[in-house]
Structure 1
Amino acid sequence: MSDIVRRRSSRNAKLAKIPLGIAGRAAVGFGRKLVGGDRTEINAELNEKAAAQLFAVLGELKGGAMKFGQALSVMEAAVPDKMGVHYREALTKLQAQAPPMPAATVHRVLAQQLGTGWRDRFQDFDDTPAASASIGQVHRATWSDGRAVAVKVQYPGADEALRADLKTLRRMGGTIASLLQASDVKPLLDEISERMEEELDYRIEADHQRAFAAGFAGHPRFLIPKVVASAPKVVVTEWLPDATPLSAIIADGLADPEGTAQLRNRVAALLTEFHFTAPHTVGLLHGDPHPGNFMLMPDGRLAVIDYGLCGPMPDGIPAVLGQMVALLEDDRYEELTALLHEDGWVLPGKTVTAEEVEAFLRPFLDPIRSDTFHVSRRWMQRVAGRATDINSPEIRTSWSLKLPAEHTMAVRVLMGSLGIAAQLDAEVPFMRLIREWVAGYNEFRAAS
């Protein structure tokens, strides 16, 4: 790939290949079944080809297409087993991989952002990218003072591509949701759009990371790499030596479930703790929970990278969310329903009853029924299936509900954390962390 595809018409044509390709392969597969082909073998082959195309298109386009794919990848544990391993592999690749941009393009961006003498700021620079993100890729280098650093370089045209993709993906949302057997993807796209402009300016990301590094400085369980330099399209941070990617821990867990259980439980607990503690510690929520952004250091600390998508929470996790958890824990659905109406969770002109709210939410509440909860793929698949069953009476309740904009990121991060915990097949102390870090929960308990 010579550069990120910029023209909207070209990007739309590539994105259109996904549903068109699936339809074409389905027709061919149907024909093969009619003439006596093995149904299981044909279905597996079709799934594999569709998954490969999904990764190829979303990864090649980068921009909003890849960002959308990365967001979906967190929930790969909810993909039904009948879809096979192919979608999991394709979506997981989007967590840290994509076709790279040429070295000449990288050098041009560095010269524009750090000056024509940019090489003087490094002792060495590796032209082969170490990782890819949705709007940029990361290179390993050595800073002038000898420090190993990670250099994130934004793809030229990423801003145009991101805006074009989000507009197109909105139109294709129903098709993609159906393909992945996922729920409505519109709220996800709305939130990505809202934070898009901030992500395109790496100086904002650098400021977020500086705040996290200061807030968690010297922390015994978390490590935030320091920012070395920043510009609108380039950010340089400390390299994390000998770090084990979370994706590798997930893979090891699939290969050796019993032997890695203790490690996976610890990592899942650290990840969840980080999300619960960050708003209180920093006044910000890290809003990009996918395995590519988390690594385990040799000393046992969880390292966290990529701060382009952060949400302000100056007073910690909103108290109303803690109050809702307390009401759910006690099955106080009359009070909860009144609070949902009051706080804007019910669409204007709509009403829901306490009985409807209880029936709708009960399948999702297992994690708060005990101090710790085992988040498994089977549980995620059951919950996801329930949430998307158009024949269930609860789906009609969902049509009367909405997610308030001010809570969208918090809920998405919670779902992302659950998705990663399911990939880890791990035990997570949700209620212990809620009691310790969610002020609204404790305040409501004390008042009650």
Structure 2
Amino acid sequence: MSDLPRKAVTRTAKLAALPIGFAGRATWGLGKRIGGKSAEIVGRELQQRTADQLFKVLGELKGGAMKFGQAMSVFESALPEEVAGPYRAALTKLQEAAPPMPTRTVHAVLEERLGERWQELFLEFEDKPSAAASIGQVHHAVWHDGREVAVKVQYPGAGEALLSDLSQLSRFARLLGPLIPGMDIKPLITELRDRVTEELDYALEAQAQRAHAEEFRDDPDVVVPDVVHQCEQVLVTEWIEGTPLAEIINDGSQEQRDRAGQLLALFLFSGPARTGLLHADPHPGNFRLLPDGKGGWRLGVLDFGTVDRLPGGLPTPIGRSLRLTLDGEALAVYELLRKEGFVRESIELEPDAVLDYLLPIIEPAQVDAFTFTRSWMRSQAARIADIRSPAHQLGKQLNLPPSYLLIHRVTLSTIGVLCQLGATVRLRDELEAWVLGFVAEADEGADQESAAEA
């Protein structure tokens, strides 16, 4: 049996063992309750044991398992501290580390894709990878013209591994639900599956990265490395130094945390407005904090394998609904949400109840500066997850239109990273600058334009 089939069998066995382990812990939990421990304490212990096995298995794999782990890692802020605390290191590891490919495999891919004399393209090439992720690993090198570059090499069989892992994970998504309160795991896995083909296509990634690099060239706040060379399974881009956001989360100063948070918010909202593309993989492994040469910091952005194409920027209804919610216009918000498909035609909801549901979520936009914290994230997750709360009952009746699915996940993920940073961010400034409809004048201008066209 070759290495790849043997590894596939091993990874399948590890993933298949997860639901068995979950079932065993559920039985253990029932025994503890019968033995006299309270349901709350047992539930917490069960959550810890589940997290322990999940993070251990995901940390040993690549493919869809690691992709899922990366997506989950940004929601660590929503986990109870007693669960998140012990596994924070494991979650961080998932963000930009995986078992590396053997050197001979890397060389074989490069020879197949760049030619037998591929080594002549580089003045230097480091065989040890500098980062290993879900579908490929990155090597530091020096291109033949002297530029430092990052060489991303796709794992052979990456597509099959992604699809296989995500298919298995989707089968027991229900069992993972209690791990992160207020989050439906199955749509996340479904969406990751839908993005597989796009992420494996390095030509699409190169196109998206070039668009960002061109737009943000010489930008004082954001750095996007340019594409140097691209072919099937290999992507060569400029190398950027900097401190990974995961390190800022763990050890950064408050000044660095706040600056990273502000820049992350800036990039989230300005990117679609300036490029027509939304960077859709905002986990900390894809960002760096770089000195700007003037005593401040810039944000380096990596990995454009997953993007949402938004030619007009973020949809105007997002800005309008935010502003109307902040203004307390319950009926107008409700009508807009219904028009956009967030409230199905077959359902009638109380507009004031919808407003009450939304206001706590958009609290960061209500003030000039908001401090994102894990405790705030946990309180929001608990409010929506508690089956006894009105928010939970109302949330179950709302709908997420497919066109908003990726925007929703990116926004939630970014908020999760801001909470991990504990950053104080002037979010409202970025909304006003970049999101159409958030400022009343933008609405009026759009209305006048529509009237003129009519």
Q: What does residue 395 of structure 1 align with?
A: 392
Q: Secondary structure at the match of 1:401?
A: coil
Shift of 1:350: 2.3
Spell out, residue by residue over 1:215-250, the C-alpha distance to the aligned partner (whole angstroms, 9 max, x if none).
001101111111111112110111113x11111111
Q: Is the 8 A contact 1:76 1:87 kept in 2?
A: no
Q: Secondary structure at the match of 1:351?
A: coil
Q: What does residue 232 of structure 2 align with?
A: 232
Q: Secondary structure at the match of 1:295?
A: strand
| Structure 2 stretches lacking a partner, 5+ long | 448-454
The equivalent position to 2:335 in structure 1, one of 312, 317, 338, is: 338
Q: Is the 8 A contact 2:210 2:227 kept in 1?
A: yes
Mapped to 2, the partners of 1:331 and 1:165 lie a distance apart of 45
Mapped to 2, the partners of 1:438 and 1:36 lie a distance apart of 54
Mapped to 2, the partners of 1:446 and 1:89 lie a distance apart of 45
* Residue identity opposite 2:103 in structure 1: A
Moved more, 110-119 or 177-186: 177-186
Matched, 1:72 2:72: yes
With over 3 angstroms needed to count, the CA separation of the structure-2 counterparts of 1:61 and 1:9, relative to structure 1, is same
With over 3 angstroms needed to count, the CA separation of the structure-2 counterparts of 1:79 and 1:206, relative to structure 1, is same
Mapped to 1, the partners of 2:420 and 2:308 lie a distance apart of 25
Spell out, residue by residue over 1:145-181, the C-alpha distance to the aligned partner (whole angstroms, 9 max, x if none).
2221111111111111212222222221111122344
Q: What does residue 201 of structure 1 align with?
A: 201
Q: What does residue 111 of structure 1 align with?
A: 111
The equivalent position to 2:357 in structure 1, one of 356, 360, 380, is: 360
Shift of 1:341: 1.1
Q: What does residue 438 of structure 2 align with?
A: 441
Shift of 1:7: 8.4
Q: Is the 8 A contact 1:141 1:149 kept in 2?
A: yes
* Residue identity opposite 1:97 in structure 2: A
RMSD, aligned CA: 2.8
Shift of 1:278: 0.7
| Structure 1 stretches lacking a partner, 5+ long | 254-259
Matched, 1:324 2:321: yes
Mapped to 2, the partners of 1:283 and 1:33 lie a distance apart of 54
Q: How does 1:35-114 map to 2 (within 5 A)?
A: 50-114=50-114
Mapped to 2, the partners of 1:58 and 1:240 lie a distance apart of 28
Shift of 1:200: 0.6
Q: Secondary structure at the match of 2:438?
A: helix
With over 3 angstroms needed to count, the CA separation of the structure-2 counterparts of 1:361 and 1:45, relative to structure 1, is closer
Mapped to 2, the partners of 1:58 and 1:314 lie a distance apart of 35
Matched, 1:262 2:258: no
Matched, 1:282 2:281: no
Q: Is the 8 A contact 2:76 2:84 kept in 1?
A: no
Q: What does residue 257 of structure 1 align with?
A: none
Spell out, residue by residue over 1:276-299, the C-alpha distance to the aligned partner (whole angstroms, 9 max, x if none).
111111111111101101101122
Q: What does residue 419 of structure 1 align with?
A: 416
TM-score by length of 2: 0.89
* Residue identity opposite 1:268 in structure 2: G
With over 3 angstroms needed to count, the CA separation of the structure-2 counterparts of 1:326 and 1:201, relative to structure 1, is same
Matched, 1:124 2:117: no
Q: Secondary structure at the match of 1:99?
A: coil
Shift of 1:17: 2.1
Spell out, residue by residue over 1:32-78, the C-alpha distance to the aligned partner (whole angstroms, 9 max, x if none).
999999x9999999777654532332233321111111011111111
Q: What does residue 381 of structure 1 align with?
A: 378
Q: What does residue 246 of structure 1 align with?
A: 245
Mapped to 2, the partners of 1:369 and 1:4 lie a distance apart of 52
Mapped to 2, the partners of 1:405 and 1:43 lie a distance apart of 34
Mapped to 2, the partners of 1:12 and 1:70 lie a distance apart of 19
Q: Secondary structure at the match of 2:371?
A: strand
* Residue identity opposite 2:187 in structure 1: P
* Residue identity opposite 1:187 in structure 2: P
Mapped to 2, the partners of 1:332 and 1:42 lie a distance apart of 43
Mapped to 1, the partners of 2:195 and 2:440 lie a distance apart of 31
TM-score by length of 1: 0.90
Matched, 1:291 2:290: no
Shift of 1:20: 2.3
With over 3 angstroms needed to count, the CA separation of the structure-2 counterparts of 1:3 and 1:71, relative to structure 1, is farther
Mapped to 2, the partners of 1:276 and 1:218 lie a distance apart of 19
Q: What does residue 302 of structure 2 align with?
A: 305
